Amino acid sequence: MRVSLKDVAAHAGVSIKTVSNVVNNYQHVTPAMRERVQRSIDALGYRPNLAARHLRKGRTGIIALALPELGNPYFAELAASVIDAASRHDYIVLLDHTGGSREQELLVSQGFRARVIDGLILSPIELEAEDLRDRSEDVPLVLLGERDYDLPYDHIAIDNVAAARAAVRHLIALGRREVAFIGARRGRSEPAQLRVRGWREELTAAGLAADEGLVAATDGWGHADGALAMNHILDSGRRPDAVFAYNDPMAIGAMRVLHERGLRVPEDIAVVGFDDVIEGRFGAVTLTSVSPDKAAIGRLAVESVLARLNDRAPEPRRIRADHQLVERESTLGRPAGSARGTH
39-63: per-residue pLDDT in tens? 988 888 877 665 555 455 556 889 9
Q: In this structure, is residue 51 part of a structural domain? A: no
Domain count, the chain: 3
Identify whether residues 64 and 103 lie together within a single domain: yes
Identify whether residues 130 and 213 lie together within a single domain: no
Identify whether residues 175 and 241 lie together within a single domain: yes
- pLDDT number for residue 343: 36
Q: In this structure, is residue 98 part of a structural domain? A: yes
Give the burial string for 261-278 (b: 16+ CB within 10 Å, else e).
eebebbeebbbbbbbbbe
Spatial separation of the C-alpha atoms in residues 96 and 73, rounded to whole Å: 16
Identify whether residues 236 and 280 lie together within a single domain: yes
Distance of CA 292 to the CA centre of its chain: 7
| Mean pLDDT of the chain, nearest integer | 89
pLDDT band at 342 (very low <50, low <70, confident <90, very high): very low
Distance of CA 13 to the CA centre of its chain: 47
CATH of the domain at 171: 3.40.50.2300
Spatial separation of the C-alpha atoms in residues 338 and 333, rounded to whole Å: 10
pTM: 0.80
Number of CB atoms found within 10 A of residue 297's CB: 24
Report the percentage of the chain scoring pLDDT > 70: 90
Identify whether residues 172 and 93 lie together within a single domain: no
CATH of the domain at 28: 1.10.260.40
Q: In whole angstroms, how far apart are CA 63 and each of 80, 83, 336?
A: 13, 9, 49
Identify whether residues 300 and 283 lie together within a single domain: no
Write out the residue range of the structural domain in which residue 141 sits. Answer: 59-158+293-312
Identify whether residues 278 and 189 lie together within a single domain: yes
Identify whether residues 63 and 145 lie together within a single domain: yes
Identify whether residues 272 and 172 lie together within a single domain: yes
Identify whether residues 166 and 285 lie together within a single domain: yes
Q: In this structure, is residue 54 part of a structural domain? A: no
Spatial separation of the C-alpha atoms in residues 130 and 102, rounded to whole Å: 12
